Structure 1
């Protein structure tokens, strides 16, 4: 899974843990792994895309709020945000970190509501980040098990109640009739039967 980044300056081809990155001209966009982006951003070679800034996150929150469906997130969205926040913390930019976390919490709250609806619907989930797919899978399983348990609970109660009621009625009839199967043959007065 890769994230989209933009080169902050001219970048010659470099070897990063056995992987070649570049060459890139200044301002050129490319896709690299989140951990690679974190390293290159710390060195000043790349810049995060707008969506990984406080303003970019606020835009995403507004867009998510306007939509009844889940909006698509970039691949590695949460992982990239994690790396971005770590970089900001290492640079003592705590005000930006606070703004990003507030926006991220708002976004997560909105998405959880939609994910919960998705987990209860028979419609298959669209492509989600792995963190959200994990949540959908677990919620779906949890809800399925909960419904199954309730179904079992409500199936047993009526059967038990009906069975107990039938047994009480049978006992009452046996007390009146005795062991004889045919009430008419015994000539029991109707007043005894209806009392």
Structure 2
């Protein structure tokens, strides 16, 4: 993945990439597989210190912008959250949707309480809610409908979303049993050259 990003960076374009916990997952630190410990390791690379943080040469090519969750304490924070909900509300295509469906009454407080202001959780809750509203024929999102939607945040026994790193990367000299072919290769679309060459 990092090699692909570097290839894009050689083009005359500006890339805006979005991810979760970029500094923690090792993408920009070139994690390497240690055969002895059978674990992924992030070795120290040529680096410099910026604002007291170790920044690798690869990380230095990127400007990381931290986007925090919405807060709901000051009037300015509340307004920013409500404005975000209003933007989502404008794009929801439900037959019985009404103005203020997400922004009116106690709905902003309800959504903040359910999602903690995390944009990903908010999006998932409203997406699942819209799907349920269409499936049930209600065609409207309200607290009663959203109460039926279960979020990962509501299940503390489950671990948070993390990148899935295989315990042992597949070896090039040992084919995986899933990829082992049981049938001969289909030769229907093989190119046998010009017809005159095959005739002679």
TM-score category (smaller protein): under 0.3
**Which structure exhibits the higher relative contact order, with contacts defined as CA atoms closer than 8 Å and separated by 6 or more residues?**
1
When Rg is computed on C-alpha atoms for both structures, the one with the higher figure is 1
Compute the TM-score of the two structures, normalised by the length of structure 1: 0.23
Compute the TM-score of the two structures, normalised by the length of structure 2: 0.23
Write 1 or 2 for the structure with the bigger share of helix: 1
